[in-house]
Amino acid sequence: MSERTLVLIKPDGVKRRLVGKIINRFEEKGLKIVSMKFMLLTKPQAEKHYSVHKDKPFFRGLVDYIISGPIVAMIVEGNSAISVVRLMAGSTDGSKAAPGTIRGDFSSSVQNNIVHASDSVDSYNYESQIFFNQAEIIESEYGDESLL
């Protein structure tokens, strides 16, 4: 079933120049990028994005980190995109993520774990609106959909 998910390449991924490698993994998997932007997240956007954690002791650290530098936000589309992207991302704790996953290959911590990926359709619907408006999402066929 085709679906969409939000992926953020966090400041550590950008600063370490991993953006191209990460995008390449999604494209090689057959996922389609339908929107993408390089941006600095505002504090209100970050607080809204992480609002599910607002009562947790690590909330302020999450917000401070995600606004510490540029990020790449993208909407990725494909068959079971949410579960596929989360599997590709690996365990939230990079030190425990399996080799071959994005976090397993590039991260060794919980906070600096390279990427964020929506964990459900509801999360995607909420989170994507923080980063994109409907006009920024490109509806198009690549022509290879039947091959995937």
Contact status, residue 106 vs residue 94, Cβ threshold 8 Å: yes
Q: Quote the tokens at residue 56.
A: 């947790």
**Catalytic residue ranges:** 116
Per-residue tokens: 94 = 């990079």
- CA angle centred on 134, ends 70 and 73, rounded to 5°: 20
Whether domain 2-138 has CATH 3.30.70.141: the reply is yes
Q: What whole-number distance in Å separates Cα of residue 81 and Cα of residue 1? A: 8
Can you give the pLDDT at residue 146?
Answer: 62
The pLDDT of residue 147 is: 61
Residues of the chain with pLDDT under 70: 143-148
Note the pLDDT of residue 138: 86
Domain positions in the chain: 2-138
pLDDT for position 80: 96
In angstroms, the CA 49 to CA 25 distance is 24
Q: Are 16 and 106 in contact (CB under 8 A)?
A: yes
Confidence at residue 109, expressed as pLDDT on a 0 to 100 scale: 86
**pTM for this prediction:** 0.92
Distance of alpha carbon 84 from alpha carbon 77, whole angstroms = 10
